[in-house]
Structure 1
Amino acid sequence: MKVNTAKAAILGIQDIHINAATSSRQSMAEQHDPPSVSPAAKHSWFPTPPPPIYSCTLTPELEAKAREELQEKPEWRLRDVQALRDMILKEQPNLHTRLDDAFLLRFLRARKFDYDRALQLLLNYHAGRRAWPEVFQDLKPSTVKHVLDLGFLTVLPRPDPNGRYILCLRPGKWKPNDYPFVDNVRAIYLTLEKLIQPEETQVNGIVILADYTGVGMSQASNPGPFLAKKVVSILQDGFPIRIKAVNIINEPRIFKGIFAIIKPFLKEKMAERYVLHGSDLRSLHRNLPASVLPEEYGGTAGRLDMGAWSRLLLDCEEEFVVEFCQPDPLEGAMLPDSELYEGEQAGGSVEDTFRSLRSQLYYCY
């Protein structure tokens, strides 16, 4: 009887968290759009997220892929979500995080349904917001409109043959005198948040296409290794997304120096996923077929449209306000020690490394 009473109490707390999160999102949406139409529904090329009350949207083929690659068993899916939810409520009762099925599934899938690793990823996800307030404070699309208008990033409308959406980055469009580098990070993070919503992306992952045309010494040396380490830490260990490949094209000689700064922070598996193509489009097409690429990269999918993704993000403004413009979710939470976001105390040793690498940048340049 005591076990049943305790379980009922946990489930009651869980319902409070879920209902509060759902009602706040619904009330925010109702102020701006008809309840039956979500902002993303205006952009038919991008899949919509699962409904508020979770119902699997995966095709049988994707369910089979998730079973094989992620150890996801459809018959155990909601049981696994409940197990993770129970761990959060027991070990981090003061963590004000979403507890709905769709949200927690992102973390389970990203860590192949290992409960402990999924919980650590969730904690890292929230810890990143506290460790980097200049990125996460007031994070919403309207605050990075200048980045989107400049054409720094977009998402191509057609996924590759493996169902992976392609995040296209153009670092050469950014000039350090225009705005701080962290604005680029903010735009990337908002993009990843939108990309991870559909279950297709959670299973298939994404591909990055980075065009380094126009990148010079000012862009290469501006972020520095401390900032680079934070970006890499978030992408590798603080966000529930699977980056399956990073294709670099039109990289200048200076890229050797840029990669020398980034590589020490990359896990071996991630470092192996970087592919440098130079100006050889045939090499690029062996990794990303011409049928999904715009004409600018030798593809047959029309001209590169930088506006479609920008419009989609801006139309989801209120969604991000609810998600990010709220009180600190870690207020009162006790987090385990982690070197993932170790703060400024690491800056000294990292900057020493940067001094030794700066000469490489100038040599390559």
Structure 2
Amino acid sequence: MSIKFDNDKQPYIDLGQSYKICFDYKKIDDAKCLAKAREELRETPEIREQALTELRELIKGEKNLVFPTDDFFLDTYLRPCKFYAKSAFEKIVADSKFKIKYKKFYENIDLETTRELFEDNLYKYMPLNDKEGRRIVMIKCGEKWKLTRNNHKEFFAAMRIIFQTMAMEPSTQVNGVSMIIDMKTLDMSQVTALTPSFVSMLVKWNQDCIPIRFKRFFVVNNSKLINVFWALIAPFISKKYKDRFYIVNEKYEILADHMGKDCLDKDYEGNIPVDKVEGKVMLDYMKLFQKQFELLNVSGFVEENEDIEDKRNKVNALAKEILSTIKV
């Protein structure tokens, strides 16, 4: 299991037997995905160009807002918002205001500070998408979440890294994400660590700020504590998201029905024969996308102690560097 580079110099994790984990930032060329973009997201060349123009004007007109305006970064918000420029702009503004309100969660955070979370295998990508083309993300919030090693700030930072990096994938913008929440050995101390204020913050960020189409949430290996857990988070979740939650426990055939067995590993009675990615390798891979994380951290509203031109120059430089290194 190691990190390698393809012919386009794009990195990937080689899991063996032709299985790999990689981000795909290339333009969409799959006919099925293009058709879904037209039918579900209203994406046509004409609508997209109009939306890009409108969104740039909205960003330009918002005083003290600094955000990259290259097509690649604007599409990240426009596709999940079905190319309604106003909705995409509102999500950008919501995320920018969120950074100010919860500033302490953004200070002195980089990939290295999340090392223990990745090494403990709390967050993972699956190597294959589900049968609907959705990116699969797994969170092991039971046995892998060690309260003595990981605080709220680090937990949220790792979540942002995982979510925001895949949010830039055009195919994920169209197809969305399926999430597996594995609660194996979850105990009361972990449940009570999810304070109402922290849960409220996490849900608000996921629903209002991050440009991702979350299509399914599967809770697996849960105990009776699921009732306590659900009572804690349900008040903050919208009806749309509640309708997308499935309590699976160990009935893995539910996962297979919704996702297909070919994208699941042996832990969930699937057909993937290779082991999950090792946490250390996953962290080393994510470090290759450090600039994306830096860009998303620095973008937003100018604060009192910031110079707008310095902030704009930093955002533009990071955006330029990212576009020069990824294959789009």
Q: TM-score range by the shorter chain?
A: 0.7 to 0.9
Range 265-274 or range 102-111, more displaced: 102-111
The one of 236, 240, 248 aligned to 1:269:
240
TM-score, scaled to structure 1: 0.74
The one of 148, 151, 168 aligned to 1:177:
148
The residue that corresponds to 1:82 in the other structure is 53
Tell me if 1:140 matches 2:104: no
SS in 1 for 2:217: strand
Cα deviation for residue 283 of structure 1 reads 2.5
SS in 1 for 2:40: helix
1:56-87 Cα distance to aligned partner (Å, 9 max, x none): 43423222111111112223312210111111
The one of 72, 83, 86 aligned to 1:102:
72
Unmatched tracts of structure 1, length 5 or more? 1-35, 51-55, 334-365
Cα deviation for residue 285 of structure 1 reads 1.7
The residue that corresponds to 2:253 in the other structure is 282
Distance in 2, Cα, partners of 1:102 & 1:82: 13
Structure with the larger helix share: 1
Contact 1:39 1:316 in 2 (8 A): no
Range 112-121 or range 158-167, more displaced: 112-121
The residue that corresponds to 2:317 in the other structure is none
Q: 1:42/1:208 Cα in 2 relative to 1: closer, same or farther (>3 Å)?
A: closer
1:182-229 Cα distance to aligned partner (Å, 9 max, x none): 312211110011111110000000000011001000000112111101
The residue that corresponds to 1:48 in the other structure is 24
The residue that corresponds to 1:337 in the other structure is none
The residue that corresponds to 2:322 in the other structure is none
Contact 1:142 1:317 in 2 (8 A): no
Distance in 2, Cα, partners of 1:160 & 1:241: 16
The one of 63, 79, 84 aligned to 1:114:
84
The residue that corresponds to 1:305 in the other structure is 276
Tell me if 1:188 matches 2:164: no
The 5 A counterparts of 1:63-74 are 63-74=34-45
Contact 1:108 1:114 in 2 (8 A): yes
Tell me if 1:228 matches 2:167: no
SS in 2 for 1:220: helix
The residue that corresponds to 1:353 in the other structure is none
Contact 1:206 1:243 in 2 (8 A): yes
Contact 1:45 1:157 in 2 (8 A): yes
The one of 62, 65, 81 aligned to 2:33:
62
Q: 1:40/1:196 Cα in 2 relative to 1: closer, same or farther (>3 Å)?
A: farther
Range 123-132 or range 194-203, more displaced: 123-132
Structure with the larger strand share: 2
Contact 1:58 1:200 in 2 (8 A): no
Contact 1:244 1:273 in 2 (8 A): yes
The residue that corresponds to 1:314 in the other structure is 287
Cα deviation for residue 175 of structure 1 reads 2.2
Q: 1:205/1:115 Cα in 2 relative to 1: closer, same or farther (>3 Å)?
A: same
The one of 196, 199, 217 aligned to 2:170:
199
Distance in 2, Cα, partners of 1:304 & 1:101: 37
Cα deviation for residue 117 of structure 1 reads 1.4
Q: 1:322/1:116 Cα in 2 relative to 1: closer, same or farther (>3 Å)?
A: closer
1:92-120 Cα distance to aligned partner (Å, 9 max, x none): 03201111111111211121122221111
Cα deviation for residue 126 of structure 1 reads 1.6
Q: 1:323/1:277 Cα in 2 relative to 1: closer, same or farther (>3 Å)?
A: closer
Letter aligned with residue 72 of structure 1 = E
